[in-house]
Structure 1
Amino acid sequence: MVIEALAQNMNLYGITQSAGRLYGLLFFANKPLTLDEMKEELGMSKTSMSVSVRSLLDLNMVEKVWVKGERKDLYTIKEDWYQCFFDYFTIKWRAAIMMNSSTMEKSIAKLKQLIDDPNTSEEIRESAMGDLKKLEERLNYYDWQDRLIDSFETQEILNFVPTDKKKDK
C-alpha cells in the first residue's frame, strides 16, 4: 500500500508511476538491488526498469553503489529526503526558469524594436508597451524564484522552515 501511495504521489511531481513504484521498492529494501532483482520484484520489463532508474538517478533520488565482489550495478535510495526534495525542485524549476526567461528576454528585445520603430502605429506601440510591462514583471517573478532555488541549494531555507517541528516553535 505504501509503495503504491508513493508511486501516486510521485506521479503528481511528473515522475512516472513505474519509477515511483521502483523508488518505493528501494525504500523498503534492506540492501541495494540490481536491475534484475528490481525487474523480478516489480514485474517490469528491463527497458522500463532502466528508464525508471535513469529518471531517479537524474533527479538525485537514487544512487549507484559499489559492493565488493558484485559485478552488476546496484542501486539504493538517497536517505536524505530533504535533500531529495531540494534536488528535485532545483533541477525542475531551474530548467523551467531558464527556458521561460530566455524566451521572454528574446520577446522583450523584439517588443523594444517594435516600440522604437518609427513605422509602428500608436495602437500597436501601446499594445507592445503593455506586453513589455507584463514580461518584465514576469522576469522579476522568475528572479525571485531563482533566489528561492538558491536558498534550497544553500539550505538557507531551513533557517525559516526547519526540518524539526520543535525548532519551529
Structure 2
Amino acid sequence: MKLTEARQQFISNWGAFGTHWGINRTMAQIHALLMISPDALSQDDIMAELNISRGNANMNIRELINWGLVERVIVAGERKEFFSAEKDIWKVVRQIVKERKKRELEPMLQLLDKLENTEGDKKDKHMKAFLDTVGSIKKLSKQADKTLDTMIKAEESWFVGNLLKLFK
C-alpha cells in the first residue's frame, strides 16, 4: 500500500471511529490529518486535503481546539493561521476521556444527585424501585468517575501495567 492510500485510509477510518467517541466524522478526520502531518497545516490545506467547505473546516477546527486536541501554531512570515494536533496518542486518549467525562459523566452525576432527593413515601414500591435504580446507577457512575480520574492522572506505563494485571 502506498503512503497516499494509507493516509487516506487512516483519515477515513479515524473519522468513523471518532463518531463512537462523541465527535463528528469531519472533526475526527481533521484531527487524523493533523496527527499524521509532520508540519502544522492551514485551514486552506485542511479544506483541500479533505475536500470540505471553509465553514465546515472552521467550525470543526474550533471544536477540536475546545476539546484540547488541536492548537493554533504561529508560522513566521505567514499571515494565515496554522494548526497542529498532539502526536502522543496517550495524551490524545487522556484528553478525549477528560472531555467526555466533563460533557457526559459529570452532568449525569449531577442529575442522579438531584433524583436521589425525590420526595415521596420511601416504603412505596414504585418509589423504592426508582431510588434503588438511581442509587445503583450513581454507584457505578461514581466508580467510573474515580477510574477515569485515575487514568487521566496516570502515566502511560503505570496505567497500562496495572490494566494488564487485571487480565492476567
- What range describes the TM-score normalised by the shorter chain of this pair? 0.7 to 0.9
Counterpart pick for 1:23 among 20, 31, 42:
31
TM-score between both structures, scaled by the size of structure 1: 0.80
1:53 has 2:61 as partner:
yes
Percent sequence identity is: 19
Query: In 1, distance between residues paired with 2:38 and 2:92?
Result: 19
**Amino acid across the alignment from 2:131:** L
Partner of 2:115: 107
Partner of 1:149: 148
- Give the superposed CA RMSD: 2.5
What are the within-5 Å matches in structure 2 for residues 70-85 of structure 1?
A: 70-85=78-93
1:129 has 2:125 as partner:
no
Where do 5+ consecutive residues of structure 1 fail to align?
Answer: 117-121
SS in 2 for 1:114: coil
Query: In 2, distance between residues paired with 1:158 and 1:33?
Result: 31
Partner of 1:91: 99
**Matched pairs, number:** 157
1:7 has 2:51 as partner:
no
TM-score between both structures, scaled by the size of structure 2: 0.81
Alpha-carbon distance, 1:76 to partner: 0.9
Are 1:60 and 1:78, in contact at CA under 8 Å, matched by a contact in 2?
no
Query: In 1, distance between residues paired with 2:56 and 2:154?
Result: 34
Runs of 4+ more than 3 Å apart: none
Are 1:94 and 1:149, in contact at CA under 8 Å, matched by a contact in 2?
no
Alpha-carbon distance, 1:87 to partner: 1.0
Where do 5+ consecutive residues of structure 2 fail to align?
Answer: 1-8
Query: In 2, distance between residues paired with 1:98 and 1:151?
Result: 15
Are 2:151 and 2:159, in contact at CA under 8 Å, matched by a contact in 1?
no
Are 2:41 and 2:82, in contact at CA under 8 Å, matched by a contact in 1?
yes
Are 1:94 and 1:146, in contact at CA under 8 Å, matched by a contact in 2?
no
Between structure 1 and structure 2, the one with the greater Rg is 1
Alpha-carbon distance, 1:51 to partner: 1.3
Query: In 1, distance between residues paired with 2:76 and 2:54?
Result: 24
